[in-house]
Amino acid sequence: MTLVIHNATIVTGDDEDRVMHRSAIAIEAGRITALGGSDAILAAYPDAERVDAADRAVLPGFANIHTHLGMTLARGVFEDLSPPHKPPFCGGLSPIPLPTLSVEENAVMVQLGALEAIRSGTTALLEDGAGIAGYAKPLAATGLRLLLAERAWDRKGAGIGDPGPFVADEALGEAGLERIAALHAAWNGAEGGRIAVGVAAWAPDMCTPALLGKLRALQQKLDCVCTIHLNQIWGEVAATEAHRGLLPTEYLEKSGFLHDRLIAAHCRCMAHSEERLLGRARSSVAFNSAIAARRGLSPRISVLEAEGCTIGMGTDNMAEDMVEVMRTGLFMERIRREDGRNPTPEQALRWATRNGYRAMGIADGGWLAPGNRADLIMIRTDRAHLVPRLRPVSAFVHQGQASDVESVMVDGRWIMRDGRVLTMDEPAIIREAEAIARRAWAKLFAEHPEIAVPAGFAPPI
Ligand SMILES: [Zn+2]
């Protein structure tokens, strides 16, 4: 069956950043087969199912290349409890621990994150987590294109940025390696290739050189993408210097962990020499702009890009809104560069779409051209904040909202259509997620009276 979306404004994201007005796109068997003027495409596919996209724009879907979907549990809490930028450092990303959930409860929080991702126009997503096998099935059922990066580490009893000694635990590292291999065997290539499995090392201050070497060997054996949190916070930099006598990126370089299939998340607290090492290796960077802004830290995106890195974008924690991430990234870089013209909205859109797909190893996705994967979104443009529709890319990057996204397609299949997510029971997930989180936090505070309850916290249900 062929589908033709006609009468649309089409943002291609191609090499020339072409925007096609009053145009159509034909889709067959999960691929884009043609782009052109509406009349010509409709004439070429007379039997196609037609979607009239008047007052709509078609864009490539977003690739979120760094997230932890279940961290929706800490929404409203961890955003305001960022780690210190100066000593004394402490371990973890918040002074309050995350409540423990059952595997089933965690899967609901993951689905909540997936709903927000789809609603903000995400079509591809890299999930970094430990124990992904526990929620891979409901996550695959969302219809999103997924890169599942199971995480390994071998530092015992500590979190990122912990100033304490490195207590190595070989068995902990081996368990991570086994989880990655098992997840790969079970899920890589599933759903007609929509699901891929990758390798994740937690962070430089959470892994020995021996484990990094084994993870690199496993990644080469599995022929997959690899990811790591890198230069995320100043505590991590201090800990890596204390443990290894090197800056985090230097440590990875010395351990043979920098390469062109690596996605380095964050890259904020970096010396220029480190940005150069990462660029020389042609690694990709996950620019997690919204969480970076919340943490009060910024990567130097223009420098990383100039040194040779591919810039993609991610949401990281507590949020999955890629529209916000794209705009925040443009704002942050303009402020940091003190440049009111650069980056351009076209560049920001490319980071959030085509570059992310490329980082995930998908060269034929994230931009609209014949032969490419039909991963796309339709947004409503007849909105007070988007009219007049003179330069659709600029208007959407500067003023667009996740709620403008009306339909989302992955592999030629609608996973959201006319404002309704078709792959999940949205009201039930929202209801359950609320109850699970309220219960879990109330239990945590009851069991730990020494933890100060953040201001304005909701009472137990
Ligand atoms: Zn992260």
Q: How far away, in angstroms, is 304 Cα from ligand 1 center?
A: 19
Q: How far away, in angstroms, is 216 Cα from ligand 1 center?
A: 19
Residue 347 has pLDDT above 80, yes or no: yes
Q: How far away, in angstroms, is 229 Cα from ligand 1 center?
A: 6
Name the helix (H) or strand (E) containing 36. Answer: strand 31-37
Compute the average pLDDT of residues 410-433.
98
The whole-number pLDDT of residue 461 equals 79
Q: How far away, in angstroms, is 23 Cα from ligand 1 center?
A: 39
Each residue of 191-209: pLDDT tens digit?
999 999 999 999 999 999 9
What is the Cα–Cα distance from 175 to 172, expressed in whole angstroms?
5
Q: What is the pTM of this model?
A: 0.98
Q: How far away, in angstroms, is 365 Cα from ligand 1 center?
A: 24
Q: How far away, in angstroms, is 14 Cα from ligand 1 center?
A: 29
Domains, the chain, ordered by start: 2-60+368-420 (2.30.40.10), 68-98+112-359 (3.20.20.140)
What is the Cα–Cα distance from 106 to 295, expressed in whole angstroms?
25
The whole-number pLDDT of residue 82 equals 93
For helices 103-119 and 426-447, angle between their N-to-C axes, nearest 10 degrees: 130
Residue 459 has pLDDT above 90, yes or no: no
Q: How far away, in angstroms, is 41 Cα from ligand 1 center?
A: 43
Compute how many other C-beta atoms are within 10 angstroms of the C-beta atom of residue 68.
Answer: 20
Compute the average pLDDT of residues 208-222.
98
Q: How far away, in angstroms, is 127 Cα from ligand 1 center?
A: 9
Confidence category of residue 93, pLDDT binned at 50, 70, 90: confident
Q: How far away, in angstroms, is 18 Cα from ligand 1 center?
A: 33
Each residue of 18-30: pLDDT tens digit?
999 999 999 999 9
Of 302, 301, 281, 283, nearest in space to 293 by CA: 301
Tell me which residue has tokens 């991570």. Answer: 176
Q: How far away, in angstroms, is 66 Cα from ligand 1 center?
A: 6
Whole-number mean pLDDT of the chain? 97
Q: How far away, in angstroms, is 298 Cα from ligand 1 center?
A: 15
Of 248, 250, 313, nearest in space to 284 by CA: 313
Q: How far away, in angstroms, is 63 Cα from ligand 1 center?
A: 15
Task: Label the pairing between strands 145-152 and 195-201.
Answer: parallel
Residue 460 has pLDDT above 80, yes or no: no
